[in-house]
Amino acid sequence: MKLLRYGPAGAEKPGMLDASGTIRDLSGVIADLKGDALSPAGLAKLAALDASKLPAVSGNPRLGPPVTGLTNFICIGLNYADHAAETGAAIPKEPIVFLKSLGALCGPNDDVIIPKGSVKTDWEVELAVIIGSTAKCVSEDAAMDHVAGYAVCNDVSEREWQIERGGTWDKGKGCDTFGPLGPWLVTKDEIADPQDLAMTLDVDGQRMQNGSTRTMIFGVRHLVSYVSHFITLHPGDVISTGTPPGVGLGQKPPMFLKAGQVMKLSIQGLGEQTQRTVAYSG
């Protein structure tokens, strides 16, 4: 299934994308895509629905993040061997875990705001794992039982703030709009192997990232288990699993985003995002 949330920011409704690409309204079935709706039983209930009997949504509504009510927006740093090489970093011995502010979460096609004073805003296409049921200290063998599905994430980053302003990654990762997620949650049954997905990111039509989840250092199963030993994972929580090479920081010379540019991201089987960068105006 492809599950989504559509409508104005803060007033999204739950929906499902049917086989023809039509959005079907789920608000008569569930309150939202959160909590028990993401559990194995909740997803089974949605999978059993006849999509053709659900109300069709007309037009081309804004898409919001495909889940809500999350407790944690977790990211993994330097998790692709080829990306670690382009930054000159050593291969991590354990996953590098940091948190992205929940305030960074936004829709997949929402504008990305270049923060006030930023000179090094960067892009990162990433596979996001969406948790479906509470996971605490779970084994690798049981880890996938707690996964609802996957989505595309752009882990937008301000590199000066991340690297040069005291060594705390979070301050360069949590700005408003720095976490576009979606366009939809694709349930795990539709993805045969999350460790074999092509992923791309273009800036103004130029291919910058062209990678694959095959080069992950720590795979999805390991990450869910590992993180659950430090942070209890709840339904709707997101683990963004790292990025392949081609980020702006890794270009020679480095390239960073300016207002008025367009990013387009895709991951095989998970859809596309498109964001326009805009200047801070607050």
**3-class SS letters over 229-240:** CCCCECCCCEEE
Q: Give the closest residue to 242 by CA, choosing from 194, 193, 177.
A: 194
Per-residue pLDDT at 86 exceeds 90: no
Per-residue pLDDT, 132 = 98
Residue 16 token pair: 């499902």
- CATH fit for domain 73-279, picks 1.10.8.60, 3.40.50.620, 3.40.50.1100, 3.90.850.10: 3.90.850.10
Instruction: Indicate the helix (H) or strand (E) that contains 186.
Output: strand 185-187
* For range 106-123, the mean pLDDT: 98
Confidence check: pLDDT of 169 > 90: no
Maximum pairwise Cα distance, the chain: 55
- Confidence grade of residue 16 (pLDDT, cut at 50, 70, 90): very high
Q: What's this model's pTM, rounded to 2 decimal places?
A: 0.97
Query: Given a cut of 90, is residue 89 above it in pLDDT?
Result: no
pLDDT band at 272 (very low <50, low <70, confident <90, very high): very high
Per-residue pLDDT, 125: 98
Average pLDDT over residues 112-135: 98
- pLDDT exceeds cutoff 90 at 90: no
Buried b (16+ CB within 10 A) or exposed e, 92-114: beebbbbebeeebbbbbbbebbb
> Could you tell me the two tokens for 56?
């069709």
Confidence check: pLDDT of 84 > 80: no
| Residue found under tokens 């005291």 | 166
Q: What is the DSSP string of 73-89?
A: EEEEES-BHHHHHHHTP
- Confidence at residue 105, expressed as pLDDT on a 0 to 100 scale: 98
Mean pLDDT over residues 59-67, rounded? 97
What pLDDT sits at residue 11? 98
Q: Hey, what amino acid is at 67?
A: V
Q: Nearest to residue 261, comparing CAs of 208, 221, 185, 199?
A: 208
pLDDT of residue 85: 78
Round the average pLDDT of the chain to a whole number and report it.
Answer: 96
Q: How far apart are CA 74 and CA 254, in angstroms?
A: 26
Is it the case that residue 282 has pLDDT exceeding 90?
A: no
Residues with Cβ within 8 Å of 111's Cβ and at least 6 positions away in sequence, in order, are 177, 275, 276, 277, 278
CA end-to-end span of the chain: 39
Residue 174: pLDDT band by 50, 70, 90 thresholds? very high
57 secondary structure, DSSP code: P
Tokens standing for residue 57: 């949504």
The predicted pLDDT at position 88 comes to 78
* Percent of the chain residues past pLDDT 90, beyond the cut: 93
> Which residue did the predictor score with more confidence, 83 or 164?
164
pLDDT-derived band at 168 (thresholds 50, 70, 90) equals: confident
Q: What is the pLDDT of residue 279?
A: 98
Would you list the domain boundaries of the chain? 2-53, 73-279
Write down the pLDDT at residue 83.
79
Q: How far is CA 26 from CA 43, 115, 169, in A?
A: 12, 35, 38
